[in-house]
Amino acid sequence: MKRTILFLVVPVLVGFLLAGCSSTTEPQDTTANLEDFGSYTTAKEEPSFGDPYIEALMDVESSVDDPVALSPVVDSIENQERTAAYCFRMVWGNLEGDSGVTEPTNWSGTLTISRGAIIVTKTIRFEPGQDYLLPRHNDSGIYLPEKLRWVSKTVGGIDGIATRLLIPPSITDDIVTVTYESAQLTITFDISALEDLDTLISIGSGNAISFEATRCEPSTNVARRGHLIGRWSRNLHGEGVFSGAWMTSTGRVIGSVRGNWGVDSTGAHIFVGKYIDRDGNFRGFVKGLWRIRGTGVMAWGQFRGRIFNADREPIGVLKGHFKKSDTRRGGYFAGQWCVGENCFSPRW
């Protein structure tokens, strides 16, 4: 059954990082070292931690030259002084990575903005001939910057699209909305959700849709915020592990992250890890809390934490969501990171 959702912004509870996580069905596994920053140090690592999976993440996103970006309408919007730009990402499919899935799921759909323009920047894991973007113009050849259409099917895998949303200033009090619609789900976000959107909608049978958004930073700036994407699973010893790519807001990979998650000696649901740059140099420790939402096939998780420098001083924050897998090759997580004094706000 298709789900229809109106997404409302709810303030993040401060107690998430203070009171721990509520209900969970996770076993009380303390085999992984979760004390302090675990076994992680400031030592230089191999690029991508020497992990072929992380290295492969460098190539799963394909850049797109969206012709809408060159249209006069979009040029006019971009040249307005107070136009807001949001980097909006959506990933759908069997996020648990269940290799036993044999039936295809149809994710073909649309993304529509009520005022402004959508520019496609990347496709994620699109398979040639099966997954593709539909023309951005009508039958008269006129570009339609406010609407994006695509064809996508998954069988145990995932697809996705990264976009840049341009919202020009308005003299009225109209609320700009962004609507995703497919055979699996219809959901609408208002502009207030786009500042730091971080949500996952479970569809069932391991299928889910991940949404992430943040303000786009100019590519010439030193990155102060961005996205995370990777795998949230267990290793051969049954320990909770995660690994993935550390990206700018526009999706450029600038490093890697790796860590452990589990339950520490006090019963807290902890994750710890380390962030390195493309050359393997230490950039920061990460540590925080995670929790499970929902039960059974609809279950998904959230994490919230901080980024620390070599002196164990907090320099930033990170947060996200995940679909856990109990196998080494499954699972998925996506999130956001932010470094700097302005990052320690109630929204985070």
Q: Which residues contact 61 (CB under 8 A, 6 or more apart)?
A: 122, 123, 124, 125, 162, 251
User: Cα separation of 125 and 132, whole Å?
Assistant: 11
Q: Which residues contact 205 (CB under 8 A, 6 or more apart)?
A: 94, 98, 101, 297
Q: Do residues 53 and 324 make contact, with C-beta atoms less than 8 angstroms apart?
A: no
Q: Do residues 285 and 271 make contact, with C-beta atoms less than 8 angstroms apart?
A: no
Task: Identify the CA nearest to 194 among candidates 115, 305, 93, 289.
Answer: 115
Task: Identify the CA nearest to 253 among candidates 229, 271, 287.
Answer: 229
Give the per-residue pLDDT at 20: 43
Q: Per-residue confidence of the chain (348 residues) as pLDDT tens digits?
A: 667 776 654 444 334 443 344 444 444 444 456 778 989 999 999 999 999 999 998 889 999 999 999 999 999 998 898 899 999 999 999 998 876 778 899 999 999 999 999 999 999 999 999 999 999 998 888 899 999 999 999 988 999 999 999 999 987 778 999 999 999 999 999 999 998 899 999 988 779 999 999 999 877 667 889 999 999 999 988 999 999 999 999 999 999 999 999 998 889 999 999 999 999 999 999 999 999 998 887 889 999 999 999 999 999 999 999 999 887 778 999 999 999 988 887 555
3-state helix, strand, coil in the chain (%, to 5): 10, 45, 45
- Which DSSP state fits 1? -
User: Cα separation of 98 and 102, whole Å?
Assistant: 10
Give the per-residue pLDDT at 17: 42
Give the per-residue pLDDT at 286: 97
Q: Do residues 238 and 26 make contact, with C-beta atoms less than 8 angstroms apart?
A: no
Q: Does pTM surpass 0.75?
A: yes
CA distances from 317 to 12, 139, 337 (A): 14, 47, 6
Q: Which residues contact 114 (CB under 8 A, 6 or more apart)?
A: 146, 174, 176, 177, 178, 179
Q: Do residues 345 and 251 make contact, with C-beta atoms less than 8 angstroms apart?
A: no
Q: Where are the alpha helices (DSSP H) in the chain?
A: 52-56, 72-78
Task: Identify the CA nearest to 156 among candidates 95, 87, 112.
Answer: 95
3-state SS assignment for residue 299? coil
Listed by start position, the domains of the chain span 27-58+220-343, 61-215
Q: Where are the alpha helices (DSSP H) in 101-172?
A: none
Neighbours of 206 (CB within 10 A): 21
Give the per-residue pLDDT at 147: 97
**Residue 329 exposure: Cα atoms within 13 Å on the Cβ side:** 6
3-state SS assignment for residue 25? coil
3-state SS assignment for residue 70? helix
